[in-house]
Amino acid sequence: MIAFGVLCAIAGGIIGRYGPQLFPVKRSPAPAVQTLAPPSPAAPAPSPPHPAASPPAPAAGEVGALTARIAQLETGQRRIAGAAAAALAADALSQAAETSRPFPGPLAAAQRLLPDSPPLNALQPLAQTGAPSRATLTLAFESLTDHASVAARAPGGDAGLLARLRYLMTSIFIVRRVDASGASPDAMLARAQGDLDQGDLDGALREIAALPPAGREALADWRVQAERRVEIDRLVAQVRDQAMGEVASASGQAAPT
């Protein structure tokens, strides 16, 4: 046992001294070190888009033509507005002139918008007094026809006694023919009344003008008023036509071409 112990000690010394050469230790391979690739350079930021190319500036001739066109349109619009105002003034004048009252105010308003209107100038003296309306004239004529019928049958200065007596009786007991045909004073008055009922004042005046002188004289005052009404209506109609012509002319000029 002593010898075995000595042997073990000698073997231990030998192994301690020469063990690494006699029994080399197998080492496990070292883990591979992953080589990281150097970071790639950052992608360049997108450059801002180039601004769109501005259209070429219009030529001086084009600018001048456009300016002239705009000026023309503005002028046309002003003309349309002025013509429309004149048409409204003419309509107001027409409504005022249809009554039996004077109408200097509406006439002055229309003259401001149509300063060079001959019919408006001709209306100046008529507007100060006006004229009875057509309805008023129709009613007044109905109350005058009997008197005019009697006056139209008055005998002349060389009439005999019988004709004078007949006239005296008809002036007391008025009897009128209702037949509108023929050339008698009663027929003329009947036709004149029918014209007035239809709104034909001119036709009524033509019938009255054909009456005998005494019949015309009986209706003299009525005729003066009726003729004033006809003249006023005629001139007012001309003013309306002029105003509507201004509107049509202004609209045609302002229309694009």
> 56 or 23: which carries more pLDDT confidence?
56
Does pLDDT of 167 surpass 80? no
For 246, list phi and psi in degrees, rounded to 5.
-65, -40
pLDDT per residue as tens digits for the range 54-99: 566 566 666 677 677 676 666 667 778 888 998 999 999 999 999 9
- pLDDT the model gives residue 149: 81
Q: Residue 102 and residue 125: Cα distance in Å, rounded?
A: 10
Range with lowest mean pLDDT among 130-144, 159-173, 220-234 = 159-173
Range with lowest mean pLDDT among 111-115, 123-127, 167-171 = 167-171
Token pair, residue 19, equals 């063990």
pLDDT per residue as tens digits for the range 125-165: 999 999 999 999 999 998 898 888 877 766 655 555 555 55
Contact between residue 97 and residue 103 where contact means Cβ atoms under 8 Å apart: yes
For 43, list phi and psi in degrees, rounded to 5.
-65, 140
Confidence class for position 223, pLDDT limits 50, 70, 90: very high
Contact between residue 91 and residue 244 where contact means Cβ atoms under 8 Å apart: no
Percent of the chain with pLDDT over 70: 58
Token pair, residue 163, equals 């004709």
